[in-house]
């Protein structure tokens, strides 16, 4: 099975940033990296939603955040799915609906 790349407009460009606070590397999009640089605080928003305080560049890489890694993988392989807007949630019937069904 081959995976075709996204068209250029749907491509996700990320950089793995080592966190100074936790021993984890997070994926940060180019847009969020630019926003963090413009802010001047060295804090970036990762694709998993975490706020990352960047470690010094001499810090060795750590293990990658599982949520970030999963998101990046999903964006690369599930190209037909809109991951930013998954749509309405379908919930199971509530207790009252089940009681109504049991009554007949």
Contact between 16 and 27 under an 8 Å Cβ cutoff? The reply is yes
Residue 97 belongs to some domain of the structure: no
pLDDT in tens, 1-32: 455 554 555 678 999 999 999 889 999 999 99
Determine the structural domain holding residue 14 and report its residue range. Answer: 10-80
Per-residue HEC secondary structure of the chain comes to CCCCCCCHHHCCCEEEEEECCCCEEEEEEHHHHHHHHHHCCCEEECCCCCEEEECCCCCCCCEECHHHHHHHHHHHHCCCCCCCCCCCCCCCCCHHHHHHHHHC
Contact between 15 and 33 under an 8 Å Cβ cutoff? The reply is yes
Residue 103 belongs to some domain of the structure: no
pTM reported for the whole predicted model: 0.65
Mean pLDDT of 58-80: 88
| pLDDT score, position 100 | 64
For 95, phi then psi, to 5°, come to -60, -40
| pLDDT score, position 24 | 94
pLDDT in tens, 73-91: 988 887 665 555 555 555 5
Residue 62 belongs to some domain of the structure: yes
* Number of domains observed in the structure of the chain: 1
Residue 85 belongs to some domain of the structure: no
């Amino acid at each position: 099975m081959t995976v075709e790349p996204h068209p250029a407009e749907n491509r996700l460009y990320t950089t793995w940033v080592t966190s100074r606070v936790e021993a984890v590397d997070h994926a940060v999009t180019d847009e969020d990296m630019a926003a963090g640089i413009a802010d001047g605080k060295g804090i970036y928003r990762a694709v998993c939603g975490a706020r990352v305080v960047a470690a010094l560049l001499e810090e060795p890489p750590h293990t990658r955040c599982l949520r970030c890694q999963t998101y990046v993988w999903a964006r690369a392989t599930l190209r037909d799915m809109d991951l930013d807007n998954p749509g309405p949630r379908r919930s199971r019937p509530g207790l009252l609906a089940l009681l109504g069904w049991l009554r007949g």
